[in-house]
A and B are shown apart, each in its own frame.
Chain A
Amino acid sequence: AQTVTQSQPEMSVQEAETVTLSCTYDTSENNYYLFWYKQPPSRQMILVIRQEAYKQQNATENRFSVNFQKAAKSFSLKISDSQLGDTAMYFCAFMPEGAQKLVFGQGTRLTINP
Chain B
Amino acid sequence: NAGVMQNPRHLVRRRGQEARLRCSPMKGHSHVYWYRQLPEEGLKFMVYLQKENIIDESGMPKERFSAEFPKEGPSILRIQQVVRGDSAAYFCASSPRPMNTEAFFGQGTRLTVV
Contact of A99 with B99 at beta-carbon distance under 8 Å, contacts A44-B105, A44-B107 already known? yes
Stretch at the interface among A12-20, A63-71, A77-85, A101-109: A101-109
- Count of A-B contacts judged by CB separation below 8 Å: 53
Chain B residues 57-95 with CB under 8 Å of chain A are 59, 89, 91, 93
- Chain B contact residues: helix, strand, loop or mixed: strand
Q: Decide if B98 touches A107 in the complex (CB within 8 Å).
A: no
Q: How many interface residues does B have (CB within 8 Å)?
A: 24
7 closest A-B pairs (Cβ-Cβ)?
Answer: A104-B42, A45-B105, A101-B45, A100-B99, A100-B48, A104-B43, A44-B107
Q: Measuring CB to CB, which residues of chain B are less than 8 angstroms from any residue of chain A?
A: 31, 33, 35, 40-45, 48, 55-56, 59, 89, 91, 93, 98-99, 101, 103, 105, 107-108, 110
Q: Measuring CB to CB, which residues of chain A are less than 8 angstroms from any residue of chain B?
A: 4, 33, 35, 42-46, 50, 91, 93, 95, 99-107
